[in-house]
Amino acid sequence: GEDVEQSLFLSVREGDSSVINCTYTDSSSTYLYWYKQEPGAGLQLLTYIFSNMDMKQDQRLTVLLNKKDKHLSLRIADTQTGDSAIYFCADRYTGTASKLTFGTGTRLQVTL
C-alpha cells in the first residue's frame, strides 16, 4: 500500500524559515495536503496541491512538489511561536475519495 514518511522533529528560531519535508510512495496520488495540529486540537487544513502542479504559495506558506522524486515540502516563512504544532502530510490516492494516507507528523518547535 501507499506510504507517507516525514521526519519527526524540527526546531527553528522565530523569524527564520521552516521547511518540513515529506516523501510518498504512490505515483498515482492526485492531491497532497498539509495539516496542522495544535496540542489537544483537531486537524486544520493549511494548504493542498494538485499533483499536476509544482508549486503553490499562500501567504507565508509555500508548497513544493517534485513528482519525479515523490517529494513534498512545506516552507513557512517568518516562523512565529504560534506556528509551533505538529504538521501532517497526507495524500489522496486516485479513486479513493474516502481515504487519506497520513505521514507520522513533524513536530515543529519555534524557539525565541
**Cβ-Cβ contacts under 8 Å for 9 (sequence gap 6 or more):** 106, 107, 109
Nearer to other proteins, 41 or 77 (CB): 41
Q: What's the min distance (Å) between Cβ of 71 and other proteins?
A: 18
Using CA atoms, how far apart are residues 21 and 87, in angstroms rounded to an integer? 10
Using CA atoms, how far apart are residues 57 and 49, in angstroms rounded to an integer? 10
Under rule CB under 8 A, which residues in 43-102 are in contact with other proteins?
A: 43, 45, 48, 88, 90, 92, 96-102
- List residues binding other proteins (CB under 8 A): 1, 4, 8, 31, 33, 41-43, 45, 48, 88, 90, 92, 96-105
